C-alpha cells in the first residue's frame, strides 16, 4: 500500500438495546485514545438504554465517535463491503440483534454492517448480553460461532485483573474486545501471577 493511502484503523461500533450501553462508550473512548477511527451506529433500543443507564442523549454519546450513522440509513458507507473497515464490535449485543445477525435479516444499518463483516470474512465481535440464555439464544450463538471472523464475547465478570470498580470491569472487557480487532488499549491488565500478588 503506498504511503499516502495509509489510514488509521477503522472500527465500526454498534450499540443495540441490551443492558450495557457503557460498553460501547468505553470502546469509543479507547479507540479515540489509541488513535483509531470509530464509526458508530445505534439502534432505537440502544438509544433507550443510553438514556436510561447513562443519563445521556444519543448526541452526547455520539461525541465520542468520529463518524455517526443513522441506523435507518441502509445506504451508508458501512453497508457496503467495498468500504474499508478493519472490524466491528457490537457492544452490547441484544438477543434481538443477535437473532438478526444469525439469520442474515439485515433490516437496519447495524445488522447490515454486521452482515457485511461476515460476508467479507472480517472480524466481528458480539458482546452478547442476556441472562439467563434461552435455547434459542444459545442456538443463535452456536450458529454464529462457526462463521469465520466471528467472536462471541459476552461481558462476563473477570477477577484475575483485580477490578476495584465497575468502570475497571467495563474497561477490561472493552479492551479485550478491541484487542480482537487489532487495537491496543492503555491500562489493559493482562493475566499474570504478579497481578494477583
Q: Which residues bind ligand FMN (CB under 6 A)?
A: 16-19, 43, 45-46, 48-49, 52, 94-97, 129-130
- What is the C-alpha separation between 65 and 184, in angstroms, rounded? 17
- What is the C-alpha separation between 77 and 21, in angstroms, rounded? 24
- E-strand ranges in 32-179 read 37-42, 67-69, 87-93, 124-128, 150-152
Find out whether 98 and 22 touch, Cβ atoms under 8 Å.
no
Q: How many residues does this entry show for the chain?
A: 197
Helix (H) or strand (E) holding 159: none
Task: Give whichever of 34 and 117 is closer to ligand FMN, judged by the CB atom.
Answer: 117
Surface-to-core class of residue 133, CB atoms within 10 Å of its CB (0-12 exposed, 13-18 middle, 19+ buried): middle
Task: Give whichever of 13 and 185 is closer to ligand FMN, judged by the CB atom.
Answer: 13
Task: Give whichever of 18 and 62 is closer to ligand FMN, judged by the CB atom.
Answer: 18
Give me the least distance between CB of 140 and ligand FMN, in Å please.
11
Task: Give whichever of 140 and 161 is closer to ligand FMN, judged by the CB atom.
Answer: 140
Task: Give whichever of 38 and 49 is closer to ligand FMN, judged by the CB atom.
Answer: 49
Cell, residue 196: 494477583
Give me the least distance between CB of 169 and ligand FMN, in Å please.
16
Neighbouring C-beta atoms of residue 34, cutoff 10 Å: 18
Give me the least distance between CB of 111 and ligand FMN, in Å please.
8
Find out whether 78 and 13 touch, Cβ atoms under 8 Å.
no
Apex 134 CA angle, 130 and 137, nearest 5: 70
Task: Give whichever of 34 and 144 is closer to ligand FMN, judged by the CB atom.
Answer: 144
Give me the least distance between CB of 55 and ligand FMN, in Å please.
12
Give me the least distance between CB of 80 and ligand FMN, in Å please.
21
Give me the least distance between CB of 47 and ligand FMN, in Å please.
8
Amino acid at each position: 500500500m503506498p504511503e499516502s493511502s495509509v489510514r488509521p484503523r477503522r472500527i465500526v461500533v454498534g450499540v443495540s438495546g441490551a443492558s450495557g450501553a457503557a460498553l460501547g462508550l468505553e470502546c469509543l473512548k479507547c479507540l479515540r485514545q489509541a488513535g483509531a477511527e470509530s464509526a458508530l451506529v445505534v439502534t432505537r433500543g440502544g438509544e433507550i438504554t443510553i438514556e436510561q443507564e447513562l443519563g445521556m442523549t444519543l448526541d452526547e454519546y455520539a461525541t465520542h465517535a468520529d463518524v455517526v450513522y443513522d441506523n435507518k440509513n441502509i445506504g451508508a458507507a458501512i453497508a457496503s463491503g467495498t468500504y474499508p473497515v478493519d472490524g466491528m464490535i457490537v457492544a452490547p449485543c441484544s438477543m434481538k440483534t443477535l437473532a438478526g445477525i444469525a439469520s442474515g435479516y439485515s433490516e437496519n444499518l447495524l445488522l447490515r454492517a454486521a452482515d457485511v463483516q461476515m460476508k467479507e470474512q472480517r472480524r466481528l465481535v458480539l458482546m452478547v448480553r442476556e441472562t439467563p440464555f434461552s435455547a434459542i439464544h444459545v442456538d443463535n450463538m452456536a450458529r454464529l460461532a462457526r462463521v469465520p471472523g466471528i467472536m462471541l464475547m459476552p461481558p462476563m465478570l473477570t477477577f484475575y485483573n483485580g477490578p476495584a470498580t465497575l468502570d475497571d470491569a467495563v474497561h477490561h472487557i472493552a479492551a479485550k474486545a478491541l484487542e480482537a480487532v487489532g487495537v491496543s488499549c492503555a491500562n489493559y491488565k493482562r493475566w499474570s501471577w504478579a497481578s494477583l500478588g
